[in-house]
Amino acid sequence: MLQKLPERLRNKVLEVTLDLAGSMGLIVRKCFPYAKMVIDRFHVQQLDTEALQEIRIKHRWDAIEAENDAIDLAKKEKQPYIPKILSNGETPKQMLARSRYLLYKAERNWTFEQASRAAILFNLYPDLKQAYGLSQKLTWIYSNITDKTYVLTRLAKWHEDVEQAGFKSFNTISRTIANHYPRILNYFDNRSTNASAESFNAKIKAFRAQYRGVKDVNFFLFRISKLFA
C-alpha cells in the first residue's frame, strides 16, 4: 500500500516513529529510505511496566498458594481458618491485587490510600520496591532529559543498577534497549511519538468491533475515510 505512493513523496519523509518489531523497521527502510527511525518511548516503557507487574503477580500467586496451604492446615487440625490481616485491613492477597495501579504512578501522584498501601507493600516485598525504583528511573530519563549525551550516561547507570538487581525481566529490557540504542536515542532529538497513530488505530478497532468484523474491505476503508479523514 505504501509503495503505491510516488517515490518522490516517500523520499521526503525524514522521520518515522515505530515500535520494537523488526518487521516495522524493514517496512520503513524499504518505503522511506531517507527517514530516521525513532522507537516510541511508550513501547519501551510498556515493557518496563510489564516487568514490574510480573514481579507483583508472582508474589500474588505465592500469597494465594500460602493462603490455600493455611486453609488446608486449618481443616486438618479442625480449626477455623483466620486469615492474616495487615494494618490497612487487607489480606496480603488483596493488597497485592489492589497494588496494580499504584505501581504505574509516580510516588507524588499516589492518593493517601495508595501511599499507605505502598508503604506496607514495599515493607513486605523489598524486591518489589527495588523494581519500582528501576521502573521510575527509566521513566525519569524519558521525561526529564533532552541532551542525548546525558541520556547515554543515565542509561549506562540504569543498566548497571538492573544488572546488580538481578531481575530476569528487567535484564531482558536492558538487553532490548542495548540492541536498539540508536533508534531509542533518536527519540531525544524531537521527542516524537506515534501516540496519534495509536489513538487512530484504537478508533478503527472499536469501529470494526461494532460490526463484528469486516467482510467488504473496500467499503470498510471507504467508510473510515468518510468518518475519520
Cβ neighbours, 10 Å, residue 132: 21
Average pLDDT over residues 56-80: 95
pTM (predicted TM-score) = 0.84
- What is the reported pLDDT for 173? 93
Cβ neighbours, 10 Å, residue 154: 16
Coil, strand or helix at 166: coil
Q: Kind and range of the H or E element at 16?
A: strand 15-18
Q: How many CA atoms lie within 13 A of 213 on its CB side?
A: 1
Average pLDDT over residues 49-55: 95
Q: What Rg do the C-alpha atoms of the chain give, in angstroms? A: 23
- What is the reported pLDDT for 219? 79
Cβ–Cβ < 8 Å for 155, 187: no
- What is the reported pLDDT for 24? 85
Average pLDDT of the chain to the nearest whole number: 89
Distance CA 63, CA 84 (A): 11
**Greater model confidence, 25 or 226:** 25
- What is the reported pLDDT for 21? 84
Position 201 confidence tier, pLDDT thresholds 50, 70, 90: confident
Of the listed ranges 6-20, 68-82, 188-202, the one predicted with least confidence: 188-202
- At residue 37, φ and ψ (nearest 5 deg) are -95, 135
Domain ranges of the chain: 2-40+192-228, 41-190
